[in-house]
Amino acid sequence: MDNDPIWQSASANQLDLARVVVERTVMARVYHNTLYLNEDGDVYRDQLFHGHINKLAKVVTSNHRDLRISKVYHYECPWSWAQAELAVISVYKTPRDKLQCVFCCATTIMNLFSMVSERGIPAADDLTPVLVYRLICRRCIDCSICRQLLRESIGGRRTILVDAVLRRDRVKTMD
């Protein structure tokens, strides 16, 4: 676009908008092939993971000991404004848009926290458990960005909570 004579008279804002449109158009065309390279195998893994998250959502509360959400922030619970930000994440196709959606959710949570925080600005350690909790409760884990965020937020290892749910499922299937 920088070298094309058609775009030479375009403003910076118009160029930015054109780039976003091109990115979204390309992602709309390659989305399925990009996310589901192994086709049925990836779809099955997503469904299985989504099922586990649904089971977690039934047992996890904001008071759950493994989440370690500070009691100070429980007054802002259920963080419905943050939940509203996540409600539209499945509509977005581009990684940038999905990250922007999660960023808006995180910003909303941080704004709620800053109203009740005695220290001023809340830390990432305050944000992460609530963000993970909201993602689990939203059950929007079928999208790749949320899966990745969950993986990174638990440090690449399973939490005790996830292990307990998976272990309980294995015991039920063995019976």
Domain match, 67 and 16 both: no
Number of domains comprising the chain: 2
User: Residue 10 is encoded by which pair of tokens?
Assistant: 């375009």
Least confident of 36-40, 48-52, 78-82: 36-40
Domain match, 117 and 96 both: yes
How many whole angstroms separate alpha carbon 165 and alpha carbon 54? 10
Residue 95 belongs to a domain with what CATH number?
1.20.1050.80
How large a percentage of the chain has pLDDT more than 70?
Answer: 69
Please report the pLDDT score of residue 175 as a whole number: 39
Domain match, 24 and 44 both: no
User: Residue 119 is encoded by which pair of tokens?
Assistant: 């220290």
**Domain range spanning residue 144?**
37-173
Domain match, 42 and 70 both: yes
- Amino acid (one-letter) located at 103: F
Domain match, 81 and 148 both: yes
Tens-digit pLDDT profile for residues 53-88:
888 888 887 777 777 777 777 766 667 777 788 888
Domain match, 52 and 125 both: yes
Does the structure show a pLDDT above 70 at 146? no
Domain match, 21 and 64 both: no
Domain match, 89 and 137 both: yes
Please report the pLDDT score of residue 168 as a whole number: 45
